[in-house]
Structure 1
Amino acid sequence: MKDNYVIIMAGGVGTRFWPFSRSTNPKQFHDVLGVGKTMIQQTVERFEGVCPKENIYIVTSEEYYDLCKQQMPYLSDDQILLEPSRRNTAPCIGYACYKIATKNPQANIVVAPADHIILKEQEFREKIKIALHFSAKNDVLVTLGIKPTRPDTGYGYIQFTESEGDIKRVRTFTEKPNLEWAVKFIESGEFVWNAGIFIWNVQTIKKTFEMFLPEMAEAFEEIKKDFYSDREADALKRAYPQCKNISIDNGVMEKAENVFVVLSDIGWSDLGTWKSLYDVSDKDENQNVIDAQTLLYNTKNCIIKTPQDRLVVVNGLDGYIVAEYDNVLMICKKEDEQKVKEFVAAAGNKGKEFV
């Protein structure tokens, strides 16, 4: 396992999960599922047996350094990579890969978000190991594809070509299709959801950056001598303005021809919204998801998540989100959860302490 590395992306704010997810304390640092561990702690533990703990790197924002140290005290400062600004996933991944390459040119890397749910963890590890074995021996970019259970318009889709086994060559990527196309994708049997989990060896990803994102590759190549030193932070402030604000999907995966997908059934959800948390959570006899002290009357199909030291009495609600964290209480129809971003913008006008 010594050549296996994991990069966990943990710099996002998770606005759609407000008021629980805040700019000062986003959802990856919360115990969203009520299991006694935060999402990022669960993500790190998920890779036990895949790579040593000293080979796990967290890429996050400067303001979340303390949260990372509190929740993962076993990580050294060299394993907590602090971006000077948010510029989407390509710079985030490029920074970590180029840094790891200076330490281990044979590194075989998994990239994963910090805030996803994976219910079938043993199956997940098996799929990751299949992908790592493939990427260690081949000049390939690999992603995990989730077998879809419904025509969801909130996910990206990967079309694959038929071949033996779990590893398929990728034909196309499609970002969040409309419902008509999502239904056609599901019916064809040729599409999986894009989980945003990537696997490659470090030499392959460097060559790919040089091909498709040359300015970014040059920026990180120029500062490689400063990695693992007290000059790293200042070097990054020089490099990041040269990096395009672009996702790894748009910048690399959709353009490369050596892309493969491992078909996976791992109980995955990206937990991007309150509805996605409702969908994966256990429900009571009235289809309510409760993480709170409650007295419920004639209430069904709701998700209620509030502080445990507060009693919440609800009467006559059907299909609502009731969410309280710190100084904000939100009550909203589940079907209107796309308005949460509007609420956040309006709350910001009331004061920074609300967002």
Structure 2
Amino acid sequence: MNKNYYAVLMAGGVGSRFWPVSTTSNPKQFHDMLGTGKTLIQKTFDRLNRFIPTENILILTNERYNDLVLEQLPKVKQEQVVLEPAMRNTAPCILYASLKIQKMNPNALMIVAPSDHWIEDEKAFEKDVIACFDKCEKEKALCTLGIQPTFPNTGFGYIEFKKGSDEQLKNVSQFREKPDYETAKEFLAQGNFLWNAGIFMWSVETIVDAFKKYQPSQYKLFEEGISCYNTKEERTFIKENYAKAENISIDYAILEQSKAIYTLPATFDWNDLGTWGALYEKLEKDDADNAVVNAQVVLNNAKGNMIRSPKGKVVVVDGLEDYIIVDKEEVLLIYPKDKQQDIKKVLSQVKDKFGDQFA
């Protein structure tokens, strides 16, 4: 395995559209969402560990998930868990992790990847990442994996690349915000747009230099802690300073300003598992298109439903079509699949009425 390969696994999100399974105290990355026997973070760790040394994988997460990470990833040592004392979007935590890695190995090449995506062809994923690493080793490039769009999705940002190049890695002309439906259709018709999966590769030197150039005050804040990083003093410095960081995404902070950005159209199957509907798409269905996780079911006149319960629970459904049915100890959700984007709002209603213990 290449000792210069590092990974930063982003595992701090809450995944509120997967409520009631995903909660603030136990978010979706720590659940076996597809009933495979492994949680999403375990699957992601194993996928990266195929070609990245175990000790070079950092887990970036919120302080409250420290014990969950160590419990689910027994190969990981405490010093590999990078804890955010405050929620500050993706730019500050990526800079913080990059400076830690640079101190360990100035020649490092790193991938930043979400911990809750579903990728089946792990060989193709490895090949794509290494192709980007090779590019980043040779030149000062920032690379991202783009996903070939299969329909005009309005829930993703898009990457627009320059047409006319036969190169495997395409030059990015701009990142585009989540579009409305008509704009998304135009993107697909033009043929040079990819979904932004939030998977990035670069050399540690290139990303740190980009922060120096485009986010000087952010860089200055974290630079002051360099002598503390990877020592006992690190926690104290981060506790005192992290919350001062600007709340900004890596896309806004760096990628939208940099000129040397490349995207590789991914050759693997990908799903961001962002909603119950996205999960439903990945699961095997019965003859009436019902997808079932964990439950034992009796289904009559039931079509197109997403059903999840604790393992072995008997669930009887009659006369429901295209519903999300999720049973969890204290909460039962029965909700139309076509309103799945509103689950966040429902969660707010539950919080307001019954308090935070169900959220």
Q: If the length of structure 1 is used for normalisation, what is the TM-score?
A: 0.98
Task: Provide the C-alpha distance between the structure 1 equivalents of 2:277 and 2:165, rounded to a whole number of angstroms.
Answer: 35
Asked if the contact 2:324–2:337 (Cα under 8 Å) also holds between the matched residues in 1, the reply is: yes
Task: Provide the C-alpha distance between the structure 2 equivalents of 1:207 and 1:236, rounded to a whole number of angstroms.
Answer: 21
Number of the residue aligned with 1:114? 115
Number of the residue aligned with 2:93? 92
Number of the residue aligned with 2:135? 134
User: Alignment partner of 2:227: what SS?
Assistant: helix
1:326/1:233 CA distance change after superposition, 3 Å? farther
Q: Deviations along 1:42-97, whole A, 9 cap, x unmatched?
A: 00111133210110000001110110111111111110011001111111111111
Number of the residue aligned with 1:151? 152
Number of the residue aligned with 1:48? 49
* Match 1:260 to one of 259, 262, 277: 262
Asked if the contact 1:141–1:260 (Cα under 8 Å) also holds between the matched residues in 2, the reply is: yes
Matched, 1:327 2:330: yes
Task: Provide the C-alpha distance between the structure 1 equivalents of 2:221 and 2:349, rounded to a whole number of angstroms.
Answer: 38
Task: Provide the C-alpha distance between the structure 2 equivalents of 1:43 and 1:220, rounded to a whole number of angstroms.
Answer: 28
Number of the residue aligned with 2:18? 17
Number of the residue aligned with 1:343? 346
Task: Provide the C-alpha distance between the structure 1 equivalents of 2:286 and 2:93, rounded to a whole number of angstroms.
Answer: 40
How much has 1:278 moved relative to structure 2? 1.0
Number of the residue aligned with 2:76? 75
Task: Provide the C-alpha distance between the structure 1 equivalents of 2:182 and 2:173, rounded to a whole number of angstroms.
Answer: 20
Task: Provide the C-alpha distance between the structure 1 equivalents of 2:6 and 2:15, rounded to a whole number of angstroms.
Answer: 25
User: Alignment partner of 2:6: what SS?
Assistant: strand
Letter of the 1:145 partner, please give it.
G
Task: Provide the C-alpha distance between the structure 2 equivalents of 1:213 and 1:326, rounded to a whole number of angstroms.
Answer: 46
Asked if the contact 1:6–1:51 (Cα under 8 Å) also holds between the matched residues in 2, the reply is: yes
Asked if the contact 1:7–1:112 (Cα under 8 Å) also holds between the matched residues in 2, the reply is: yes
Number of the residue aligned with 1:223? 225
Task: Provide the C-alpha distance between the structure 1 equivalents of 2:225 and 2:7, rounded to a whole number of angstroms.
Answer: 21
Task: Provide the C-alpha distance between the structure 2 equivalents of 1:200 and 1:248, rounded to a whole number of angstroms.
Answer: 13
Task: Provide the C-alpha distance between the structure 2 equivalents of 1:243 and 1:269, rounded to a whole number of angstroms.
Answer: 31
Letter of the 1:63 partner, please give it.
R
Task: Provide the C-alpha distance between the structure 2 equivalents of 1:213 and 1:194, rounded to a whole number of angstroms.
Answer: 22
Asked if the contact 2:128–2:267 (Cα under 8 Å) also holds between the matched residues in 1, the reply is: no
Asked if the contact 1:216–1:242 (Cα under 8 Å) also holds between the matched residues in 2, the reply is: no
Task: Provide the C-alpha distance between the structure 2 equivalents of 1:277 and 1:102, rounded to a whole number of angstroms.
Answer: 39
User: Alignment partner of 2:297: what SS?
Assistant: strand
Written as runs of structure 1 = structure 2, the 5 A alignment for 1:308-319 is 308-319=311-322
How much has 1:326 moved relative to structure 2? 2.8
Asked if the contact 1:144–1:195 (Cα under 8 Å) also holds between the matched residues in 2, the reply is: yes
User: Alignment partner of 1:92: what SS?
Assistant: helix
Q: If the length of structure 2 is used for normalisation, what is the TM-score?
A: 0.97
How much has 1:213 moved relative to structure 2? 1.4
Task: Provide the C-alpha distance between the structure 2 equivalents of 1:115 and 1:346, rounded to a whole number of angstroms.
Answer: 26
How much has 1:309 moved relative to structure 2? 3.5
Q: Deviations along 1:81-136, whole A, 9 cap, x unmatched?
A: 11001111111111111111111111100000000111221111110010011111
RMSD (Å), alpha carbons: 1.0
User: Alignment partner of 1:224: what SS?
Assistant: coil
Letter of the 1:153 partner, please give it.
T
* Match 1:243 to one of 242, 245, 248: 245
Matched, 1:354 2:346: no
Identity of aligned residues (%): 43
Runs of 4+ in 1 over 4 A off after TM superposition: none
Runs of 5+ in structure 2 lacking a partner? none
Number of the residue aligned with 1:2? 3
Number of the residue aligned with 1:214? 216
How much has 1:200 moved relative to structure 2? 0.2
Q: Deviations along 1:276-333, whole A, 9 cap, x unmatched?
A: 1111221111111111111111100110011124211000100000012231110100
